[in-house]
Amino acid sequence: MANDRRPDDMVRITTPELADAFIEEQLEALRAQIGDKKVLLALSGGVDSSVVAAMLIKAVGQQLVCVHVNHGLLRKGEPEQVIEVFRNQMKANLVYVDATDRFLDKLAGVTDPETKRKIIGGEFIEVFAEEARKQDGIEFLAQGTIWPDILESEQGIKAHHNAGGLPEDMQFELVEPVRILFKDEVRVVGKQLGLPDNMVYRQPFPGPGLGVRCPGAITRDRLEAVRESDAILREEFARNGLEGKVWQYFTVVPDFKSTGVKDGKRTFDWPCIIRAINTTDVMEVTVEHLSDELIDHLVQRIISEVPGINRVLFDYTPKPPATVEYE
Query: Which stretches of the chain bind ligand XMP, using CB under 6 A?
Result: 204, 206-208, 248, 282, 319, 323-325
Considering the complex, what minimum distance in angstroms separates the CB of residue 118 from ligand XMP?
A: 11
Please tell me the distance from the alpha carbon of residue 323 to that of residue 326, in angstroms, as a whole number.
7
Considering the complex, what minimum distance in angstroms separates the CB of residue 224 from ligand XMP?
A: 20
Considering the complex, what minimum distance in angstroms separates the CB of residue 249 from ligand XMP?
A: 11
Backbone φ/ψ region at 266: left (φ over 0), alpha (ψ -120 to 50), beta: beta
Q: 274 vs 36, 299, 314, CA distance in Å?
A: 49, 10, 5
By three-state DSSP, how is residue 261 classified? strand
Please tell me the distance from the alpha carbon of residue 210 to that of residue 125, in angstroms, as a whole number.
18
Query: Nearer to ligand XMP by C-beta: 176 or 269?
Result: 176
Considering the complex, what minimum distance in angstroms separates the CB of residue 205 from ligand XMP?
A: 7
Query: Nearer to ligand XMP by C-beta: 116 or 179?
Result: 116
Query: Nearer to ligand XMP by C-beta: 16 or 204?
Result: 204
Query: Nearer to ligand XMP by C-beta: 224 or 325?
Result: 325
Considering the complex, what minimum distance in angstroms separates the CB of residue 207 from ligand XMP?
A: 4
Considering the complex, what minimum distance in angstroms separates the CB of residue 215 from ligand XMP?
A: 12
Please tell me the distance from the alpha carbon of residue 9 to that of residue 62, in angstroms, as a whole number.
35
Considering the complex, what minimum distance in angstroms separates the CB of residue 88 from ligand XMP?
A: 27
Considering the complex, what minimum distance in angstroms separates the CB of residue 248 from ligand XMP?
A: 5
Query: Nearer to ligand XMP by C-beta: 206 or 271?
Result: 206
**Measuring CA to CA, which residue among 58, 27, 56 is closest to residue 39?**
56
Residue 320, preceding peptide bond in cis (omega within 30° of 0): yes
For residue 209, the 8-state DSSP code is G
Alpha helices in the chain (DSSP H): 16-34, 47-60, 78-82, 100-107, 113-134, 147-154, 183-192, 197-200, 220-239, 292-305
In sequence order, the β-bridge partners of residue 70 are 98
**Measuring CA to CA, which residue among 172, 263, 182, 254 is closest to residue 215?**
254
Per the CB < 8 A criterion, the answer to whether 253 and 271 are in contact is yes
What secondary structure does DSSP assign to 76-94, as a single string? TTHHHHHIIIIIIIS--EE
Query: Nearer to ligand XMP by C-beta: 34 or 69?
Result: 69
Query: Nearer to ligand XMP by C-beta: 137 or 320?
Result: 320
Query: Nearer to ligand XMP by C-beta: 38 or 202?
Result: 202
